[in-house]
Structures are given as structure tokens and as C-alpha cells.
Structure 1
Amino acid sequence: MTPVFDGHNDILYRILQAPEKREEIWLTGEGKGHLDLPRMQAGGFAGGFFAIYVPSPVSHDFAEVMTQMDNPPYALPLPDLIDFEGGLPVAFAAAGHLLWMERAAKGAFRLCRTAGEIRAAMAEGVIAGLMHMEGAEAIDEDLDALHSFHAMGLRSLGPVWSRPTIFGHGVPFCFPSSPDTGPGLTEAGKRLVKECNALKVLVDLSHLNEKGFDDVARLSDAPLVATHSNAHAICPSSRNLTDRQLEMIRESRGMVGVNYAVNFLNEDGLKAADRGWVPTLRHLDYLLERLGEDHVGLGSDFDGADVAEVLGDVAGLQGLIGAMREHGYGEELITKIAHENWLGVLERTFGA
């Protein structure tokens, strides 16, 4: 079995929606979602980024608008900014759930704070968790909360999800569309990048618009990383990365994790989940061509996206590994994509 280290999942969001069921969701599985501890172990999930995400209040009208994604083209309005006072309690609760998951797993799951700790956990057969924040609503303008979350274990942060924050602007749900959809980082956002660099916190470029991406590239002294993004040249979603952005990531010795969301894989932007491994392999081929074999990995978006039927959930990961093998990828390249490239970029970001 080939171990897989993953760039993004949203199991904490599932737990936040039903905290009274967290033992069932995490420890035994509830027959829903993509992730739980037994299925991770069955699928060779060796570790990954566990996202803290603050959901928007969802109105009936917005839920109806989201159905437009089933019928491209679409351009969906974004929810309003969530302020620090609204974001902090939710993010704090999610971080608490992640710490609980470590204790409840009784040695089968470990929250890691360094690349060396991740390697050690994987060598022991323990699933390695990395605390990530998808959207910085829970960080105040003075960045005091950044230090608090860092002390809890935060090692990766995306300044935005899709809605704006006090730090910058995310790309909307829009197809077809360029990622050039608004202004760049705010002054607070620029300070955030610098402080993340000082703390050795990875700055995630997934969801950030093009001008914000350029600001991070100019300001950061760390590798440029998009934890769960695909190639815009294949699927022209606003969320996917252009060739120019891919070149900048390659030059920085950075990383892209391929997102399994079918509407960001399929060339026509449809949520069709019945197309087998072809869309995923097409993006892998393209990213390998543009980035080189040391800078491509996997970033599932499990529990936050619609994925291919042939994959199903985390227990299907070895099917993806087999599809790479049948596609002609050698074992060394598969190992790099599956986990070694992630470990390498984390070492370049955090140090060993």
C-alpha cells in the first residue's frame, strides 16, 4: 500500500455541524462523508492538512443560487465578510475538535508541528495531522490570534476562502473565469504574510485571487504552495491556477495539490462524477509538465467537495494510486506525488 499525504480535508467542518456525533464521525464512521479513522487506515491515508473553516450563514436564496454550479456557465455572488468576533469562536471550537481527535484516536492519529514529526509518525504507521486554517476570519488585524493558534499547532493558513477577509479577496464561484477577480492583499494581509514567514507558517494560495497571489509571491520568502488547486488551462474555473501562476510556484520550489472536486477537474465545469480517473490524470499530467515531478501532490478536498464515483471516499485512494500506475507513472514518481513532495515542501517551509 502506498502511503498518501493529503493537502486538504474538511472533516472538522463535518464535526462542527454535529459535535454531539463527533465520536461516531471520527472513530467508527457514520456512513456519510469521505473521512473517518477506519477508512483512512483502510485507504492508506498517512496524513494531511486538517482545515479549520468558518462557514457563512446560508440563506435559502444562496442555497438555490449554488445549484447553478450544476449548469455552467455561472457566476455566483459571494457571502459577506465575517469579522473576527464572529469567526474566532467557530475556529477555536474546530481547533479543539482536532486536539480531541488526537486524544480519542489513542495513538492512531497525531497532531504534528514539524516535518520531522510528520515523517516520524508515518514511519510508525500513525496518521499525521497538520492544523490548517482555510480563511483567516479568526485572526485579528493585530495578529495576536495568529500567535495563539500557532501555539495550538497551526502550521498552514490561507488568508481567504472565497469571501473577502480583512486580509484579502478570494476568487468567486465562477465558470468560466480568470482568477483575476479583484484587488490584492490589504495592508493587514501583507503584515500577515510577513508574520507567517517569521513563524514558519505555510501561506496557502488556494482560493486567493490573482492579485493577492502576486502580492504573496512578492512578499514571501517561503515556497509558494496551493494546497488544493488544479490547472486553469484544462478547467477554466476562477479557482484554478494559470500557467503564469504555475511558473511562479515552480520557480519558488513550491507545490500544488490536485483537488479531487469534479467541477474543478472536468473541462466543462460540470459536477459530473461518472468520468472515471481521466480528468484527474489529465490534470496530473499537465501539472507535472508545468511544475516538474518534485512539485505536484494530492489535495483531495475530502468532505468539502463532490468527488469522482470511481474514488468514492478516502478508502478508494489506492485505486487512484493504481490508476497512476496503469497510466504509466513509475513507482518513484508515484511515491513523490503520494507523499514525498509534500514532505519536501514542508521541510523547505518549516525546516526539518
Structure 2
Amino acid sequence: MNMNTQPIIFDGHNDLLTRLWLSAAGDPVHDFIHGTLPGHLDLQRCRQAGWMGGLFSIFLPPYAYVKNNHPEKLSSSSNLNSDSDSDSDFTPQQVIDICCTQLQLAQQLQDRSEGLIQICTTLAQIKACQHNQQLAIVLHLEGAEALAIKPELLDVFYDAGLRSIGPLWNRKTIFGDGLNASFPHSPDTGSGLTKQGKDLILECHKKQMLIDVSHMNERAFWDTLEIINQPIVATHSNAHALCPQARNLTDRQLAAIKDSGGLVGVNFDVAFLRSDGQRDTQTSLDVIVDHLAYLVDHLGEDQVGFGSDFDGCLLPDELADASDMDKLLERMQQRHFSNELIEKITAKNWFKVLDKIWQ
């Protein structure tokens, strides 16, 4: 790159903790710390790329995915319906155990890293990680199924460092319908937030947590804007005008995020980038830059970041993992993104919005 130094990268979304939980054997925490973990992220590759951390998701994968790909994770003693492929077949205790285990994995990353990894709850801690060349973990709960079963877990998770939540994922819960639709589709896929969903968001708002709208349908999105007074953040979403996936944001939604002082983190998953919605890894990095440029045009230079979805997405071939981030930065330069704008997108905009929410 032509920049004097490669900019640091703070990323709005990854699924590393879920990948660690799904690892079938061995010691995945050791493998991450010592640079041998399969997937998109490990400590060695992160440090090589200047990828200094971001929002790490605690996530309940679809039951059918776990059953078909990681059956060892399903206890034979659990009350499971082995003939069903629905997402509702985890027992309530399994839902809680899966989320709590991922929280424990984050704590193990910190405790076993000899000071190289830190769970952060303030911007000052994140910037200290930047100064000390540590990996900064901000804990994020993607989908609140565990809280539907045991609401007091919100306080438990908060005390352990949770500072960001996406109340909904694709499934319907007591909090709302989630967002699930075939391609192409508008974000208007169902009812908005339930009373329990609004109550949960208000409780998280009181705790000054980031509220992620990335998996909200359009009605839930507008419900959220009506009940909280803080920057609205979509941690890993793209422009619906360029890729009409239901989970991407319309121009009207982008205008509302801009007015709130919020941020959109661009998702690197090819299905949310391509105009045809295809899961085709032969996708140019220019498509990521197209979404970045579109969002900058609609939100301004201070309200766009990265939300890669590393370890939870299908990446373009040119971007095999975090160690290839320099290729994306070079493509941004080639597309006439200034060094100042690149530094904003890679980290400074995330720092700015987190500071607004957490102050």
C-alpha cells in the first residue's frame, strides 16, 4: 500500500466464538492463540493484518446445521427429536449452555493469552489494546434466545463484559419475527417487535449497550428507532439497492441511521454483496468497495465501517481470511478512497460510535 503505515482494523462482526464452540476436537483456544486454527481468524493472522479486534458474537447456530455438521455437540442424553430439522429442537438448557460456553471461551482467550487478548467494555480499553498491540474483544449477543428462557442472563452476561446485542436473528422468538426471506425480497418480512422485544431493547438501552439492527425486519427496525435515543447501528449489513437481500438496508433505513448518528458495517459475505444474491466465491473485491462507496454517499464518511462476518460467512476468493485484508485496502485506494477515509472506515468510525453509545 502507499500509506505510510497500514491502518488498524476494528471489525463490527465475527463468529469466532461460535467456531471455537463447534470445533470438534483438540484445544481450539490454544489453536487460536498459537496461530493454527482453521477458518478466517487466529491471533497470528490478525496481528499480521493489523486486525486489532471488534465485536465477537455469541450465537446459537441453527439446530439443523449443528445436527448435520457437528452432531457430537448434541448430547445423546438430551431430549432431541432426531427426525426434525427445525431450529426449535435444542432443549432450553442446551440453548443456555451453548451461549454460556461461548462466553467462557472468550474468557479463556483472554486468560490464556499471556496478555495478548483483552475483553473490552470501554473505548479507553480498546485504545489501550491498540497501543499495546493486544487483540480487543467486545462481546456481542446475536439473537436473544437464551434471554427468552432465562432473562436474568442479561445481567450475568453484562457483568462478564457484554456491551452489544442483536435482539433478533432469523428465527421467530418471543421478542419478534426475526428476518428470513428468499432472494430477492424487501426487508418487510413480518411483524415488528413484541412487547417483550421492546422491553428487552429498553433494558439494554438503559445499560448503554449497542443495539444491533442487522437481523431486524423493517417493522422491528422502525420500532427500535421509536423507543431508543442513541445511534442506530447495523453491525454487518449492506445496501439493498445494490443487493436486494431482505437483510440489507433500504435507502430510507440508511437515512434514518444517518440521522441517528449511527453506523453500518459492511458484510463481506458474497450473498449479501452480489446483485444476483448468489453464493459464488468468484466475486470481485470491487463489489465490497461498491457497497462501501454507496454507503459513504448515503451516510457520509463518518458513519461507515467494516462488519466482515469472518468465521460466519462465504468470502470472495480474493479475501481468503483476515490476512488478506491488505488486498481490500489496496482496492479501496485504487478506487480513490483517501487515506483519511480508509482510516475512518477501518477503525475510527467504530470508535466514534461506540464512544457515543457507551459514554
TM-score scaled by length of structure 2? 0.90
C-alpha change, 1:189 and 1:83, in structure 2 (3 Å) is: farther
Whole-Å separation in 2 of the counterparts to 1:132 and 1:348: 17
Structure 1 gap segments, 5+ residues each:
64-76
Contact 1:224 1:249 in 2 (8 A): yes
Distance 2:95 2:177 in 1: 16
Confirm or deny that 1:240 pairs with 2:245: no
- Does 2:130 align with 1:122? yes
Query: One-letter code of the match for 2:176?
Result: G
Q: Secondary structure at the match of 2:27?
A: helix
User: Match for residue 55 of structure 1?
Assistant: 61
State the match for 2:220 in structure 1. 212
Residues 250, 291 of structure 1: 8 Å contact kept: yes
Amino acid at match of 1:5: F
Give the AA of the match of 1:49: L
Question: Equivalent residue for 1:37?
Answer: 43
Please give the alpha-carbon distance, in whole angstroms, between the structure 2 residues aligned to 1:60 and 1:162.
16
For 1:224, the equivalent position in structure 2 comes to 232
SS state at 1:7 partner:
strand
Structure 2 partner of 1:321: 329
1:343 aligned residue:
351
Deviations 1:156-193 (A, max 9, x none): 00011111122112211521001100111111111111
Give 1:78 shift.
7.5
Amino acid in structure 1 at the alignment position of 2:151: L
Question: Structure 1 CA distance, aligned partners of 2:110 and 2:66?
Answer: 36
1:303 alignment partner, SS class? coil
| Residue 73 (structure 1) aligns with | none
- Once residues 164 and 289 of structure 2 are traced to their aligned partners in structure 1, the CA distance between those partners, rounded to angstroms, is 27
Q: TM-score, normalised by structure 1?
A: 0.91
**For structure 1, which segment, 11-20 or 332-341, has the greater mean C-alpha deviation from structure 2 after superposition?**
11-20
Among candidates 21, 27, 32, match of residue 27 of structure 2: 21
CA contact (8 A) 1:5 1:298 kept: yes
* TM-superposed deviation, 1:32: 2.2
Give the % identical residues.
39
- In the aligned structure 2, how far is the partner of 1:141 from the partner of 1:78? 18
Superposed displacement of residue 224, structure 1: 0.3
Q: How many residues align?
A: 338
Specify the SS of the correspondent of 1:284: helix
1:9 aligns with 2:14: yes
* Separation in 1, partners of 2:303, 2:187: 21
Q: Is residue 63–residue 86 contact of structure 2 (8 Å, CA) maintained in 1?
A: no
What does the per-residue CA deviation read over 1:179-212, in whole Å, with 9 as the maximum and x for residues that have no partner? 1001111111111111111101111101111111
Q: How does 1:20-169 map to 2 (within 5 A)?
A: 20-30=26-36, 32-58=38-64, 79-80=87-88, 85-140=93-148, 143-169=151-177
| Residue of structure 2 in register with 1:71 after alignment | none
Quote the Cα distance in structure 1 between the aligned partners of 2:247 and 2:319: 22
1:273 aligns with 2:281: yes
Deviation (angstroms), 1:21: 2.8
SS in structure 2 at match of 1:175: coil
Contact in 2 for aligned 1:78/1:163 (Cα 8 Å): no
My pick for the range that moved more, 226-235 or 157-166, is 157-166
The residue aligned with 2:205 is 197
Residue identity matched to 1:4: I
Any idea what the Cα deviations from partners look like across 1:127-147, whole Å, max 9, x if unmatched? 111000110011147732111
SS in 2 for 1:129: strand
For structure 2, the residue ranges without an aligned partner over 5 or more in a row are 1-5, 70-84
CA distance in 2, matches of 1:242, 1:60: 32
